[in-house]
Amino acid sequence: MTRRKLVAGNWKMNGSHAALSELDAIAEAAAAHTSIDVAVAVPATLIAPAATRVPALSIGAEDVHAADHGAHTGCVSAAMVKEAGARFSIVGHSERRADQGERDADVKAKAEALHRHGLNAIVCVGETLDEREAGRAEAVVTAQIAGSLPDGAAAEWCAIAYEPVWAIGTGRTPTAADVAAMQGAIRAKLRAMIGEEADRLRILYGGSVTPDNARELLHVADVDGALVGGASLTAAKFVPIIAAAN
């Protein structure tokens, strides 16, 4: 089964109108590397200007509320980010699971809301350092998959991102063997849940992906792309990662 690789950026709470100029070269690289998909998730305030500036590039949100509208001060819905120009959203990022107390059921509902509105979802999972050191990494991550995978998950609109919490923003990455083992465990869990569709779903790796390690990480078995934080903020770092996926 060959799956098209997806290289997605996640700007987190970074960026500004001035920083959108970085997207020009990223969009150019995306257009040049036709055999892979490229996407960038930006803060809600930047979705519309980003989507207007680089209409060919897939711009997304970093989170959405599970409800379509209502009394949820400070939140944005899938319909709202879609209207702003988003084509997808990240859901269940570990920073939201930690900072906003999001649980698996919330993440699942958010992904289903995205699908209802015709948007794609990148569903994040990953263990903490304590969980890994206790030998519980696979159990934790497969339980997150069980709870967070949206109903009807299909490769056309849903991807998984495995992001070990201890690798995010730390410069530390798991070994290629550890990544392969976890991607395989996630694939096996998906097979148990959705059968053959599991072989079509993309499973990204995220956590301290850089131009230096991208080629190795992106070619580990069952790694179908990368979710990139810090190194997605500048074209100088993100474009080489796009090239490494090709």
Which segments are annotated as binding site for substrate? 10-12, 169, 208, 229-230
Shortest distance in whole angstroms from residue 90 CB to ligand 13P: 7
Neighbour tally for 193: CB within 10 Å: 14
Which tokens hold the place of 63? 């989170």
For position 207 contacting ligand 13P by CB under 6 A, the verdict is yes
Shortest distance in whole angstroms from residue 70 CB to ligand 13P: 27
For position 10 contacting ligand 13P by CB under 6 A, the verdict is yes
Task: Candidates 46, 227, 241, 244: give the one binding ligand 13P (CB under 6 A).
Answer: 227
- Would residue 197 show up in a list of annotated catalytic residues for this protein? no
Pick the stretch among 52-60, 113-121, 200-208, 237-245 that binds ligand 13P (CB under 6 A): 200-208
Exactly one of 95, 102, 131, 163 is catalytic; name it: 163
DSSP letter for 91, please: E
Which tokens hold the place of 195? 């059968």
Shortest distance in whole angstroms from residue 46 CB to ligand 13P: 16
- Answer yes or no: are the C-beta atoms of 197 and 153 closer than 8 Å: yes
Sign for the CA dihedral angle at 213, 7, 229, 184 comes to negative
- Answer yes or no: are the C-beta atoms of 31 and 61 closer than 8 Å: no
Pick the stretch among 78-86, 98-106, 129-137, 202-210 that binds ligand 13P (CB under 6 A): 202-210
52-58's contacts with Cβ under 8 Å and 24+ in sequence apart are 52/85, 53/20, 53/23, 53/24, 54/23, 54/24, 54/26, 54/27, 56/27, 56/30, 56/31, 57/23, 57/26, 57/27, 57/30, 58/87, 58/88
CA-to-CA separations, 196 to 1, 29, 36, 155, 199, in angstroms, rounded: 11, 32, 22, 11, 6
Exactly one of 22, 62, 65, 93 is catalytic; name it: 93
Task: Candidates 209, 214, 239, 241: give the one binding ligand 13P (CB under 6 A).
Answer: 209
Q: Which of residues 92-121 bind ligand 13P (CB under 6 A)?
A: 93
- Would residue 163 show up in a list of annotated catalytic residues for this protein? yes
Shortest distance in whole angstroms from residue 233 CB to ligand 13P: 9
For position 239 contacting ligand 13P by CB under 6 A, the verdict is no
- Binding interface with ligand 13P (CB under 6 A): 10, 93, 163, 168-169, 206-209, 227-231
Residues belonging to the active site: 93, 163
